[in-house]
Chains A and B, each alone.
Chain A
Amino acid sequence: MKVLHIEPEKCTGCLRCEVACSYVQSGEFNPSKSVIRVSAFERGHTSFSPYTCFQCAEGWCMTACPVEAIDISAVGAKEVQDDQCVGCKLCTLACPYGTIFYDPEREKAFKCNLCGGDPQCAHACPTQAITWIEDFTQDWTGAFAAQRSAADLARIGATNGR
């Protein structure tokens, strides 16, 4: 099965994935509508990581949805069906990864649907930090984020203690 594979070490924080994704989501270049988001660590000087739904096996959003508006698509994406979504936001509370969002203009939840099997973020990424390859899926950024955040916390601690 093809998955969206993310290697945070390769990300330079250019946000080109957000620009491309936002076009698919909204028809405009508007990163606030992107469902892939680049997080910055170390004050954004040296560490970035793209972060989006990795289509977890548990499917927390799908389980929580009271109207069964979230399906699994042919390419393995948990996909919001706009005609069924009532905009209750339960899915956004249920998702432990923070990768399903609520659009107040349309009053619908929205998330990564793997662009129907041709993810534009992977096309857009100039450093191959995001690729669309055969692999097992997993939370690609958790360990990286934990390590970088620990470094940040250690630095802040050191500053406060000085």
Chain B
Amino acid sequence: MLVTEKKRNQPAGYAGALLRVDLTTGRLWEQPIDDEFARSYVGGTGMGARILYDEVGADVQWNDPENRLILATGPLAGTPTWGSGGLSVVTKGAITGGATSTQANGFFGANIKSSGFDGIVFQGRSDQWVYLYIHNGTAELRDASHLLGLDTWETQDHLYEELGLSGHQLSVYSIGPSGENLIRFAGIQGDYGHVASKNGCGAVMGSKRVKAVAIVRGNRGIYVADPRGVFRTADDIAYQMRTELPGQNFYLIGTLGGVTGLAPVGGLPIKNLTTNILPAEADMSKWEPMELREGFDHRGHQCNACGMHHCHMQVIRDGVHAGDVVDEPEYEGWVGAGWAWGCTDRTKVSWMNTQCDRAGVDVNEFGWVIGWVMECYEKEYLTRQDLGGIQAVWGDADAAYELLQMLCTRQGFGDVLAEGIKRAAEHLGGPAQDCAVYTMKGSSPRGHDHRALWPEMLDTCVSSTGTLESGGPTRPQELGLPATLQVQSPDDVPRQVALTLGRRHFEDSIGTCFFTTSTTIAAIAEAVSAVTGWNYTKDDAMYLGRRTAALMRAFNLRSGIGPELERPSARYGSTPVDGPAAGVSTAPHWDHMLDTWYELVEYDRESGRPLPELLDRLALPEVKAELWG
């Protein structure tokens, strides 16, 4: 057991140390966070990218003990800023074999800081299954053999009883059966419904034989530089979220507006992108955002210090699962656990979404996998016999649930599906492969039909994180973009993606949720200043973000992932055959969009390398030396 002293001189806003865990030897130690490291890399994705770049070499594969799995929060975690329970996960991922940046919220950030750490860095591989227990500056690896096979919610239930705790006294971030069985799109789920799901970070955790991280809410305080400023900036951000678009939408109803909002522009994925026409049986009045909330018994289930009307729990009202408590799906859950494979029964979709969280799989990739299987079944590329007796008919939730069980345990064809959509499609090859939705890097898109939303398609393909890297600009003008963005313009799209690069990395480094910071970068930077005393600005924030992006890109180039992989699969990049975006296609514009994006982000178009001048400006001489000699 590691027992640490209470710190006296940590940087303001920080617990002051990363918890290092070598699973091979069982050794635990503290890596102090000093002022310079904190100021340079802030936290979360920023710190994670630095550690990943420094410590994981080219020959280390995702499941190699030498891979690092970093779970970190940032300076705002545990303060009154809304959504300040943030977790960012960084590792070499199982899907792309490159860098990963994926987030969850809940109470991770608040609880781990109250117990004396700003993050955890795992390395090595344990002989036995373990869970990491953290409380008040102590840390211990404990036997987890009794937790094996439990889903993520059961794991937390079990640890509540074992440790005699309840509610938010204990945060548990765990892998489900999918992570134990090294399903390539397994994620890490915590605090009932918060999932860092991208790039197989759960498979990495499984490969290290770590079932869970259990963090007891401790009694170590967070000292901040300007407490009144912390309250003021938190209230300013909250005010902006309540009163100004686009944050106001998230404030009022979370992401529930997505289904009815995106359908009219062709942005809602239906049946594996085979159509954009709403199915006749879909009663869209039941998919209105307030209907999605009020159609279930529900209750707010907010993350640390959050005032958004976003995360909720709901209770299934009817059907075979009546009475089950589930996590209200995000927009992307409604899609991945339903629309993407033709299920439009919201009760079934809601239940399925939580089954994905419990199993610990990424609900986006689940949607693309199931959609692909169902399309292949319809076209007879896959038979009932291939699927072990499952009749994978479009929209059949029972079939989808059986497929989930099959892939989580790698039984039969589940062993192929467990490799993720790209590898499964390549396994079948031929016309079946042409039906699958993925990028050539191996990742799959989020729960939108990007054929109508080009910025996200470009972002997904050029990203170094295994998912969207730039994200939306939120307030376009502050990034030098026009207020209204054209999402199908070959000139505007790469500009938007390029000029936004860095914003998301900054948000993912400070320990909050990007939904709760859907306001100006300047306002968020001011909150960082109040906590840390740094006089942080929007330019500092974007500098950190661009620096993080450059580190991750250099890491990916080292891992053999270059520009040649930056394109969508046949189906993902296809032309919508019907619906609002019928006939529009990124294909004729793809090279032009890449050219423009590369020019604007200052990466070399041929090799993908960040240009030497950029690396000079970002003060990354070691990266310049590695990439340019």
Contact = CB atoms under 8 A, between A and B. Distances in A.
A39 to B, nearest CB: 7
Contact of B82 (A42, A43, A45, A126): A126
Q: Which of B110, B168, B223 has the most CB of A within 10 A?
A: B168
A89 interface: no
A27 B79 CA distance: 12
Interface in B7-37: none
B82 A30 contact: no
Given A28-B223, A30-B220, 11 more contacts: A13-B300, A14-B304, A16-B306, A20-B80, A32-B114, A33-B219, A38-B168, A42-B325, A44-B192, A46-B325, A126-B308
Contacts of A127: 300, 307
A57 to B, nearest CB: 30
A29 B300 contact: no
29 contacts: A12-B300, A12-B306, A13-B300, A14-B302, A14-B303, A14-B305, A14-B307, A15-B110, A16-B304, A19-B80, A20-B80, A29-B80, A29-B224, A30-B219, A30-B220, A30-B221, A30-B222, A32-B217, A38-B168, A43-B167, A44-B168, A45-B299, A45-B313, A45-B325, A46-B315, A46-B325, A124-B305, A126-B82, A127-B300
A31 B223 contact: no
Contacts of A27: 221, 223, 227
B301 interface: yes
B345 interface: no
Contacts of A42: 325
Nearest to B308: A126
B304 A15 contact: yes
Contact of A38 (B80, B157, B167, B325): B167
Name the 8 nearest CB pairs between A and B, nearest first: A126-B307, A40-B167, A28-B221, A30-B221, A12-B300, A32-B219, A44-B167, A16-B305
B78 interface: yes
Interface in B148-180: 157, 160, 166-169
Nearest to A48: B167
B229 interface: no
A141 interface: no
Interface in B168-218: 168-169, 192, 217-218
* SS class, residues of chain B in contact with chain A: loop
B221 A29 contact: yes
Q: Which of A14, A31, A33, A126 has the most CB of B within 10 A?
A: A14
B238 interface: yes
A31 B171 CA distance: 15
A137 interface: no
A30 B136 CA distance: 12
A147 interface: no
Contacts of B110: 15, 19, 31
A47 interface: yes
Contacts of A46: 299, 301, 313, 315, 325
A19 B192 CA distance: 21
Interface string A1-44: 00000000000111110011011001111111100001110111
A39 B157 CA distance: 17
A39 B167 contact: yes
A29 B81 CA distance: 11
A15 B221 contact: no
A38 B217 CA distance: 13
Interface of B: 78-80, 82, 107, 110, 114, 157, 160, 166-169, 192, 217-224, 227, 230-231, 238, 299-308, 313, 315, 325
B301 A13 contact: yes
B299 A12 contact: yes
Contacts of A47: 299
Contact of A28 (B166, B222, B299, B315): B222
A45 B192 contact: yes
B247 to A, nearest CB: 14
Nearest to A124: B80
Given A12-B299, A30-B220, A19 B166 contact: no
Nearest to B315: A46
Contacts of B238: 126
A86 to B, nearest CB: 23
A28 to B, nearest CB: 3
Nearest to B77: A29
A29 B221 CA distance: 5
A29 B511 CA distance: 15
Nearest to B83: A14
Contacts of B306: 12, 14, 16, 126
A45 B307 CA distance: 17
Nearest to B300: A12
A13 B166 CA distance: 12
A13 B217 CA distance: 14
Nearest to A17: B305
Nearest to B167: A40
A130 to B, nearest CB: 12
A28 B225 CA distance: 10
Contacts of B221: 22, 26-30, 33
B314 to A, nearest CB: 9
B157 A43 contact: yes
A28 B299 CA distance: 30
Contacts of A15: 107, 110, 168, 304-305
A115 to B, nearest CB: 13
Contacts of B230: 29
A33 B238 CA distance: 25
Contacts of A32: 114, 217-219
B114 to A, nearest CB: 7
Nearest to B311: A12
Contact of A45 (B80, B301, B303): B301
A16 to B, nearest CB: 4
Contacts of A30: 114, 219-222
Given A15-B305, A124-B80, A126-B238, A43 B166 contact: yes
A126 B306 CA distance: 7
A23 B301 contact: no
B578 to A, nearest CB: 41
